[in-house]
Amino acid sequence: MKALAARRHHRNAPVVVTLLALLTTGGLYAALAPGTAHAAEPTANDIAAGGKLFQANCSTCHGPAAGGTASGPSLVGVGAAAVDFQVSTGRMPMAASGPQVIAKPPTFDATQTAELAAYVASLGAGPAVPTAEQVDPSKGDQATGMALFRTNCAMCHNAVGAGGALSQGKFAPPLANATPTVIYEAMLTGPQSMPVFNNNNITPQEKRDVIAYLVAQRSNATSVNDLGAFGPVSEGLWAWVLGIGTLIGCAVWIGAKSS
């Protein structure tokens, strides 16, 4: 310790300390950072566990070998990304039939979801779950993302992802609470009514730009209340109810006799 104390004033000391601090922080971050379950290659155990979960929860509709039945499509070749999207958003297992399958609190935890994904991925090649880096909004360019989102997505999901109507009761859901991974998977796999935006159409880098744009929209309101970002209909409603309503209230006060 004495030796250490003596070298405290060495001219290289600040550099050493800084390096040490950086190493410690980096190491701690590596150890404590939220692990990405999909980063590791699935093991045979994962696939087996996924298979069991599948038989118990999914095979009624998708068939015992995931080959599809009248009530559910084949899952061979849909890939881990599709499973992760459907299961982690709670869309699968499906609760009730309707115009479209809706998101709800997920039935399976992250591990189970990964196991299911591993099982389905083992049945045939398909898109994999994106890595944390692939969906990192800070690595995307939101201006490019905006241009892509406006061309490919805004007509259904609204200009800032507030959602919109499709035909026959179907709808494009709002994207405010969708995680970057889920947004990426949706583009890649084209769930339900949504078309597929494969990597030839929107490249992986461009997908990250789209994610960067969408994440930025979550804190992008320029006033206290953005009225849901639904456009002129909600603005008109507020102009009538709050604007004209308040002003008529004031007019009644002005026209009333004072007591």
Could you tell me the smallest distance in angstroms from the CB atom of residue 119 to other proteins? 23
* Amino acid in position 209: D
Could you tell me the smallest distance in angstroms from the CB atom of residue 200 to other proteins? 4
Radius of gyration of the chain (CA): 26
Closest to other proteins by CB, 7 vs 139, is: 139
Could you tell me the smallest distance in angstroms from the CB atom of residue 199 to other proteins? 9
Closest to other proteins by CB, 66 vs 172, is: 172
Closest to other proteins by CB, 38 vs 157, is: 157
Q: Which of 38, 201, 17, 210 is nearest to 114 (CA)?
A: 38
Could you tell me the smallest distance in angstroms from the CB atom of residue 138 to other proteins? 12
> Which residues, including other chains, have CB under 8 Å from residue 81's CB and lie 6 or more apart?
117, 126, 127, 128, 129, 130, 184, 185, 188, 189
Closest to other proteins by CB, 23 vs 233, is: 233
Closest to other proteins by CB, 8 vs 257, is: 257
Q: Which of 129, 79, 71 is nearest to 96 (CA)?
A: 71
Could you tell me the smallest distance in angstroms from the CB atom of residue 45 to other proteins? 32
> Which residues, including other chains, have CB under 8 Å from residue 42's CB and lie 6 or more apart?
114, 115, 117, 118, 121, 122
Contacts of residues 103-109 at CB distance under 8 Å and 24 or more positions apart, as own/partner, are 103/173, 107/57, 108/53
